[in-house]
């Protein structure tokens, strides 16, 4: 899958006048900081420039003017993590109409299936990300095994309409329904990326379900909040918390026992392959319409392993 992209560095002479802009979901999150490190490594290898421009919150209302400003500067290509699968279609169409190739990273627009002639958002060249449905399934399997294959659990999520977290929830629920019939998945709790709200939501779920056995936090703040809620209720021995993503804050919580495990994406790979894919497009090479990157499960058994350290996100 990666052959067409990885061969580019050796096929074409570095062109210092190529500029690619990476627009993250937000600039302050360790996941996107790590993604940018991978992007910069690729840029250095190719001898090109990659700019990192974004908003400080994950919000399409804030991302759109950032994107418009980027389009006005006419970079050679745009890598972007769209903050809404529907609301960011038209803003990104403006880039496409301006002749700027668009590649989405981490999140997608429309259904994430590009260049197929179907849907309003099929115009991006490629989508580079983790298999979020698969990651949700992995979280479900790990949680189900930890609670002995039975009990009540729920998903702590951000809000509907974010492609990645929607897919993680989808994968989690599908895995439980198909393979763990004795696990009851309660109603999803949406927290708008507010860890304090996620913590209070756990308290409310606990009040209704004193036998709650587990929580899957579909992103950083969901997991941190759920972990804090469990700790505040003094239920750490009884409730398993699985996190998605692995910044240092989550890893510290694994070490302390507040979080039981994290499904770590490989954001540096996403950034690296994003830049390589954009460069391939700009130098006339064919590229796949989707590129998937992997996961690593971090738990108390391996959190201090030197081989795991490379999967902990940069702060």
User: At a CB cut-off of 8 Å and minimum separation 6, what does 115 contact?
Assistant: 122, 123, 124, 125, 289
- Residue 142 in contact with residue 242, Cβ under 8 Å? yes
User: What is residue 3's predicted lDDT score, i.e. its pLDDT?
Assistant: 39
Nearest residue to 7 via CA among 284, 289, 270, 265: 284
- Report in angstroms the alpha-carbon separations of 291 from 130, 145, 288: 8, 30, 7
Q: Which token pair is 288?
A: 């796949």
User: What is residue 154's predicted lDDT score, i.e. its pLDDT?
Assistant: 98
From first CA to last CA, the distance across the chain in angstroms is: 30
pTM: 0.84
The span from the CA of 271 to the CA of 245, in Å, is: 15
Burial class for 130, CB neighbours closer than 10 Å (0-12, 13-18, 19+): buried
Residues of the chain short of pLDDT 70, as ranges, are 1-16
Nearest residue to 6 via CA among 299, 314, 296, 291: 291
User: What is residue 314's predicted lDDT score, i.e. its pLDDT?
Assistant: 84
């Amino acid at each position: 899958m990666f052959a067409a992209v990885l061969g580019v560095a050796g096929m074409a002479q570095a062109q210092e006048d190529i500029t690619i802009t990476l627009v993250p979901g937000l600039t302050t999150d360790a996941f996107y900081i790590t993604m940018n490190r991978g992007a910069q490594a690729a840029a250095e290898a190719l001898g090109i420039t990659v700019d990192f421009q974004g908003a400080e919150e994950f919000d399409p209302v804030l991302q759109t003017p950032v994107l418009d400003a980027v389009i006005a500067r006419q970079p050679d290509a745009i890598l972007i993590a769209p903050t809404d699968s529907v609301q960011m279609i038209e803003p990104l169409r403006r880039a496409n109409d301006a002749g700027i190739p668009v590649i989405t990273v981490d999140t997608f627009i429309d259904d994430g299936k590009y260049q197929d002639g179907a849907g309003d958002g099929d115009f991006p060249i490629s989508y580079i990300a983790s298999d979020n449905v698969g990651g949700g399934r992995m979280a479900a399997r790990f949680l189900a095994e930890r609670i002995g294959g039975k009990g009540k659990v729920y998903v702590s999520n951000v809000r509907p309409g974010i492609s990645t977290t929607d897919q993680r929830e989808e994968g989690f629920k599908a895995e439980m329904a198909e393979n763990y019939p004795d696990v009851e998945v309660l109603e999803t709790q949406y927290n708008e990326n507010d860890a304090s709200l996620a913590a209070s939501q756990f308290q409310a779920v606990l009040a209704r379900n004193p036998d709650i056995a587990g929580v899957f936090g579909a992103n950083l703040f969901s997991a941190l909040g759920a972990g804090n809620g469990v700790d505040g209720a003094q239920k750490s021995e009884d409730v398993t918390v699985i996190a998605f993503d692995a910044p240092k804050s989550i890893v510290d919580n694994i070490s302390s026992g507040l979080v039981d495990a994290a499904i770590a994406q490989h954001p540096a790979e996403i950034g690296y392959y994003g830049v390589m894919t954009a460069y391939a497009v700009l130098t006339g090479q064919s590229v796949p319409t989707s590129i998937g990157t992997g996961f690593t499960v971090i738990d108390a058994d391996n959190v201090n392993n030197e081989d795991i350290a490379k999967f902990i996100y940069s702060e």
